[in-house]
Structure 1
Amino acid sequence: MLDETIDTERIYALWDELSDFEASRMPEARVHLLSTVCNMIDARQADWIGAVRLVDNRHRDPLFGWRPRSHSALYPDAETARTIQEAFALMEKGEPDITTIRNAELAGQFRVLMLDELATPEWFESYSYKTFYRGLDRLDSIWVGIPINADAEIQIGFHRAISQPRFSGRDRRIVTHALRGIRWFYRLQMLSEGIGVASEPLTPMESKVLCDLLQGLSERQIAENNGQSPHTVHDHVKRIYRKYGVSSRASLMALWLGQPLPP
């Protein structure tokens, strides 16, 4: 039985709104999802992280091979970006904090976790909390882990400022219900970044070219849109095809539509 204190009609409307976004507008769709849920739980900021599991040293690694490969903040700013990159660098070196380790231990299952479930009491006095939370005006967080396949997942964090109260159980239930039933949306988001489905992440320019390809624009039109030569755009297109393991626009579109690749 659904919690009567949750605005389920708003959540269902949100799902309908997400389905109306075209494939070329996935970044905008992501912002819409994050901003809507933030409004529902009075969160001041949200992070979207694409993570992949690497094979090397998986069993000896404190994160079991998982590493972040993309990050976007709902309300981006230079200080947040710099601080998040510092946190990512520690993960790359195999020096994550306890909250990251505990989250990685649960990878492979949909999960919604309060910050105090991931942390130990002493962690709130640590460098990690002072730098990556209080240093960014974050008092409390709700973290969501969404598996896409065995080696890729999306992690979403919603954050409240130091001036706010901590999140409640109701806030957690809202987040759980709003984010649980839209796996199709997360798959498209992963495709848009090349995380977990491409051989390597797309560059910012490749992402722009991909959006134009998905709108059906010709390479000459894409070149005009981006102020580049047709030859340069053709090189971008070839790299996009190679990263996705396809050889044509039809095959690329089939990936987005979840259809078998054409012969």
Structure 2
Amino acid sequence: MSHTAHIRSHRKPRRNASSLAVRAGVAGGVLGTLAVAGASGSANAAEPVTQTLELPTLTADLATQAAQTADATEQAAAHYQLQAERDAAAAKAAKQAKADLAEARKKAAEAKKKAEEDARKKAAARAARTAARTTLATAADTATLPGGTGSGTGTGTGTGTDAGSDTGTSTPPATGSAAAIVSFVKAQVGKAYVSGATGPSAYDCSGLVQTAFKQVGVSLPRVSQDQSTAGTQVSLSNLQPGDILYWGGAGSAYHVAVYVGDGMFVGAQNPSTGVVERPLSYDPPTGAVRVL
């Protein structure tokens, strides 16, 4: 025996052909399976994945809810519109109220100014009446003239009295047109006072004077202011029947009447008294004009 016979050979043992063929077949099957799987995976990867979503069916309940939601939305919109209209109306009302307040204040200021002016005029008229009353009183006190006494020689002694008394109230009787005017105004005493009236059942102050002078063919202006300058200005101490008396200033008189003699006048005074006959002392006039 060889001295190397007991040593294991370092060379790989030879494999027989059948073993190799089996192993080759197994490997080929595995590779084929992998190829098929890879191809299938590639094909699956290339195709898009489609997912189908199924929408829920709109039932009657859902339709009712949708309608209710629409109604609620419409009601809310209507509410907001109504609120907007109310706000606009409130703003307009506030603006109008502000304008009305300004107008009311303006009118109040004008009324106050007018009242103050009227009060001033009345105060001036009262002062003028007081002055006229003083003038009349003075004239009455000084109108009586003293008589003169004379003695003559001869068969007798006589006394002659040169006396003239003129108290401002004793006047000669009216004649002619003046008498007709006096007679007319006295006949109207007791009739009513109505602003703007010129007879025959009612008069205002200037209406009575105008109508009285119309009886004798004299045309006078309609209002007191113009009648107070329609003739010649005369002194209150030298009045004659038929003269026009006025209260206030000449050209701005607020009342007129007719002097009827003996210190009396007839005039349409006011709604309370109507047409009356009164003494000059009842309401002393400011002045007088003579037309006849």
What TM-score, normalized to structure 2?
0.21
Structure with greater Cα Rg: 2
